[in-house]
Chains A and B, each alone.
Chain A
Amino acid sequence: MNKGRIISIHSFRGGTGKSNITANLAAQAALAGKRVGVVDADIQSPGIHVLFGLNESKMGRTLNDFLHGKCAIVEAAFAVGKNSGDAEGRAKLAGKDLWLIPSSIAGREISQVLRSGYDFNKLNEGLQTLIKELNLDYLFIDTHPGLNEETLLSIAISDIIIVILRPDDQDIQGTAVTVDVARSLDVPKMILLVNKALPKLDRADIKARFEAEFDAPVAGFMPLTFDLAENASKDLFSLSRPEHEWSLALREVAGAVLAMK
């Protein structure tokens, strides 16, 4: 099998902080000297590019271009390490081996995918080709919340799946569905990550409860914080505020993921 590992980040519901956590985990892996790719497979509502300082005017080729046969997948890979920019956090990625494959933010491109669909073999071929041609250690896949076709494919080809949930009954019920699907597709490793955890929560109790309910380890608790909300996706928070409790928690999760055999 390809040596690069595929890590899919999922949440059953929107607003769990999935893209933010994906971007920061990928950045931490790149800082640790790994060769890392991030694919925005949330074709219907892309967003992770913002965290890497991209906007529509700066965006070159995209995943949509590749899916429609307009370019090779590697041409859609934006080298973050060569275009890290001036933002305090992202600047730390200068020279690092991190690539982002953005989805198009152009309305017409999104509507074209929704209207006509596309060849799923091509999407899979693109993901596997990225690992080979960029010689990646890790490929992170950010998907649309819930279960759709891209989500299911990413689960089926993953080595590790990280399921993000908030301590909220709607998230908990939905997570049970994601966990069941991942199990039925034989994903080798699955971890849970609790985000937006209030300080007053009894974490030990929640960890024990979730681990018993989902039969998967809770890799960490990310605190609910106004500081992250204030960052408003302008920078990679774990790099711009490395000593913040959110960043410390994220680094702990990144360490656990990178240590997985």
Chain B
Amino acid sequence: MAGVFDRLQQQINSQKQEKGITALDLADLSPGLRKIMRLMLREMQLNYPRLCEEMDSLPAEERLTRTDLNGALDKLTAQFWLTRVGEGERAIYKVNLKRRSGSSLPSGIWTMLDTKLKDRPK
């Protein structure tokens, strides 16, 4: 039987997944942040110094100041589009993609389909 901490962790994970980012949300970010999010998707995670390094390598018109970058990271983390482990210079960021939604069809339809598929010879 799951303990209270397990249940809380499950609840947090499920909240994170419900509020995660979709690929289309990336399109609404500023060009600089979008590039970094794309990089994070490919690398799976980036630490803060590397994030700053990548930001500094962007063309001047896409670059964010440290203050703006920190603000954007806080905002993205608060809305669960990023997850952060650690604080400050030692923080590691990871993109949190929204769970692929399931069907909204009534469950009876799926049960019936399952039954039919189960009986189907291979």
When chains A and B are docked, how far (Å) is the Cα of A150 from the Cα of B20? Answer: 15
B90 at the interface (CB under 8 A from A): no
When chains A and B are docked, how far (Å) is the Cα of A148 from the Cα of B70? Answer: 32
When chains A and B are docked, how far (Å) is the Cα of A184 from the Cα of B42? Answer: 18
Cβ contact within 8 Å between A107 and B99: no
User: Which of the residues A57, A106, A124, A184 comes within 8 Å of B27, measured between beta carbons?
Assistant: A184
Contact with A along B84-114 (1 / 0, CB 8 A): 0000000000011111111101010010011
Cβ contact within 8 Å between B118 and A108: yes
Cβ contact within 8 Å between B117 and A124: no
User: Which of the residues A107, A115, A116, A157 comes within 8 Å of B41, measured between beta carbons?
Assistant: A157
CB neighbours of A2 from chain B (8 A)? 42-43
CB neighbours of B98 from chain A (8 A)? 120
Considering the complex, give the chain B residue whose CB is closest to the CB of A6. Answer: B42
Q: When A115-B102, A116-B102, A186-B38 are in contact, do A128 and B44 touch as well, CB less than 8 Å?
A: yes
CB neighbours of A119 from chain B (8 A)? 17, 97, 99-100
Chain B contributes a number of interface residues (CB within 8 A of A) equal to: 34
Cβ contact within 8 Å between A120 and B34: no
What DSSP secondary structure best describes chain A's contact surface? helix
CB distance from B48 to the nearest CB of A (A): 18
B24 at the interface (CB under 8 A from A): yes
A133 at the interface (CB under 8 A from B): no
When chains A and B are docked, how far (Å) is the Cα of A107 from the Cα of B122? Answer: 10
Among B38, B95, B100, B113, the most chain A Cβ lie within 10 Å of the Cβ of B100
When chains A and B are docked, how far (Å) is the Cα of A254 from the Cα of B31? Answer: 31
Contact with B along A1-13 (1 / 0, CB 8 A): 1100010000000
CB distance from A130 to the nearest CB of B (A): 12
Cβ contact within 8 Å between A152 and B22: yes
Cβ contact within 8 Å between B42 and A120: no
When chains A and B are docked, how far (Å) is the Cα of A157 from the Cα of B42? Answer: 6
A114 at the interface (CB under 8 A from B): yes
Cβ contact within 8 Å between B26 and A156: yes
CB distance from A144 to the nearest CB of B (A): 12
Contact with B along A120-149 (1 / 0, CB 8 A): 110111001000000000000000000001
User: Which of the residues B20, B27, B99, B101 comes within 8 Å of A185, measured between beta carbons?
Assistant: B27
CB neighbours of B38 from chain A (8 A)? 156-157, 185-186
When chains A and B are docked, how far (Å) is the Cα of A117 from the Cα of B12? Answer: 18
User: Which of the residues A107, A120, A186 comes within 8 Å of B117, measured between beta carbons?
Assistant: A107
Q: Which residues of chain B in 11-26 are interfacial with respect to chain A, using CB atoms and an 8 Å cutoff?
A: 17, 20, 22-24, 26
A169 at the interface (CB under 8 A from B): no
Q: When A117-B99, A117-B100 are in contact, do A124 and B44 touch as well, CB less than 8 Å?
A: yes
When chains A and B are docked, how far (Å) is the Cα of A114 from the Cα of B105? Answer: 10
Considering the complex, give the chain A residue whose CB is closest to the CB of B105. Answer: A115
CB distance from A78 to the nearest CB of B (A): 19
Considering the complex, give the chain B residue whose CB is closest to the CB of A108. Answer: B117
Cβ contact within 8 Å between A118 and B99: yes
Cβ contact within 8 Å between A111 and B122: no
User: Which of the residues B43, B95, B100, B113 comes within 8 Å of A118, measured between beta carbons?
Assistant: B100
Considering the complex, give the chain A residue whose CB is closest to the CB of B109. Answer: A115
A-B interface, 10 closest residue pairs, ranked by CB to CB distance from nearest: A152-B23, A117-B102, A120-B97, A184-B27, A107-B117, A156-B23, A117-B100, A116-B102, A115-B110, A108-B117
Q: What are 18 residue pairs bridging A and B, where the CB atoms are less than 8 Å apart in the complex?
A: A6-B42, A57-B122, A108-B118, A111-B110, A111-B113, A115-B102, A117-B101, A117-B102, A124-B95, A124-B97, A149-B23, A153-B23, A156-B23, A156-B41, A181-B24, A186-B34, A186-B35, A186-B38
